[in-house]
Amino acid sequence: MEFVVYMQIDNSFLEKIAQRVKTISGLCLFGAHKDILRHYLEDRLSKMNMNEMEFWNFLDNEQEMRSLINSITIGETYFFREEKHFDFLDTKVFPKLKPNSLVWSAACATGEEAISLAVLNCKHGSKAKIIASDINTNSLAKFEKGIYRPRSFRQDGIKFKKELDNFSSINHDSSTVFDKNFISTIHKADFNLIKRCGSLKNITDGSVSVILARNVLIYFDHDTQREVVNFLIKKLEAGGILLLSTTEISHFQDFEVQGAEKLNFNNVFYFQKTEVC
């Protein structure tokens, strides 16, 4: 019988890895989130039978770092999250989209946000191209399958539930399965908002009509948040819209963003691109 010796790591090693994770992904790990990293590292070192130094070097391997990042991102999401955002998109934004406009869900997790956008796209016959990206490749693989548990549907967003029913059916295990053709209309690719790398093809500056980057900035420090917001604003066409979560946008002062203004429609705060720089 083979025994696995369970490795316990030093706090200093944990801190060093947390710093490396921050440099690569922007994620600032605290409290329970840092405990997730500790458990991951202790499990991995035990399974690989490696000491801290060996594992540190092993993390140069792209696949190994990807697996670490995939294990520590928080993918909490659900359909039509922050319903008022989708009311705004439904009444003010999608009706005005031109054919071939780009709509980008830039931290899409398992895809509930991007599917919500694709549903509005069909509702309005807008023919926009929906792009969905995330740093977590496991989440994107789940998205590709298009199968969702009941926790992806909440009271918040219930107003749009019927629209989702047009593209899905319920399985005997009570999961919701989306039509494969519908799921395939959404362009999915991995993209790291910090390193700006991944399989997502370069998105030209000034080309996107709508970007959603909601509930991802909360994991970054404020300087990083500001850099990501300004990077995304550059991607917007004149008049284009960037939506963050209500909490995230409340942390921004007007002077921190270039080329966009913070506007408010029915308590939905958003950035609108004023010029193409």
Ligand X SMILES: C[S@@+](CC[C@H](N)C(=O)[O-])C[C@H]1O[C@@H](n2cnc3c(N)ncnc32)[C@H](O)[C@@H]1O
Q: Least CB distance from residue 26 to ligand X, whole Å? A: 5
Asked if residue 90 binds ligand X (CB under 6 A), the reply is: no
For 209-245, letters b (16+ CB in 10 Å) and e give bbbbbbbbbebbeeebbbebbeebbbbbbeebbbbbb
The contact pattern for ligand X, residues 175-214, with x = CB under 6 A and - = no contact, is: -----------------xxx-------------------x
Residue in 59, 97, 107, 260 binding ligand X, rule: CB under 6 A = 107
Q: Is 65 in the site for ligand X (CB under 6 A)?
A: no
Of 104, 130, 132, 134, the one binding ligand X (CB under 6 A) is: 134
Q: Which is nearer to ligand X, 7 or 270 (CB)?
A: 270
* Choice between 75 and 259, CB closer to ligand X: 75
d(CA 251, CA 226): 10
Residue from 72, 73, 217, 242 touching ligand X (CB under 6 A): that is: 73
246 binds ligand X (CB under 6 A): no
77 part of the interface to ligand X, by CB under 6 A: yes
135: contact with ligand X by CB under 6 A: yes
- Looking at residues 248 to 267 of the shown chain, list those that interact with ligand X (rule: CB under 6 A): none
**Among residues 126, 136, 168, 176, which is the contact residue for ligand X, using CB under 6 A?**
136
* 137 binds ligand X per the rule CB under 6 A: no
Return d(Cα 159, Cα 56) in angstroms, integer.
Answer: 48
Q: Residues binding ligand X: what is the number (CB under 6 A)?
A: 23
Q: How far is the CB of 109 from ligand X (least distance, A)?
A: 3
> Which residue, among 244, 225, 236, has the nearest Cα to 260 in the 3D structure?
236
Nearest in space to 6 (alpha carbons), one of 64, 51, 45, 56? 45
Q: Which is nearer to ligand X, 75 or 206 (CB)?
A: 75
Site membership for ligand X, residue 81 (CB under 6 A): yes
Enumerate binding residues for ligand X (CB under 6 A). Answer: 25-27, 73-77, 81, 107, 109, 113, 134-136, 139, 192-194, 214-216, 219
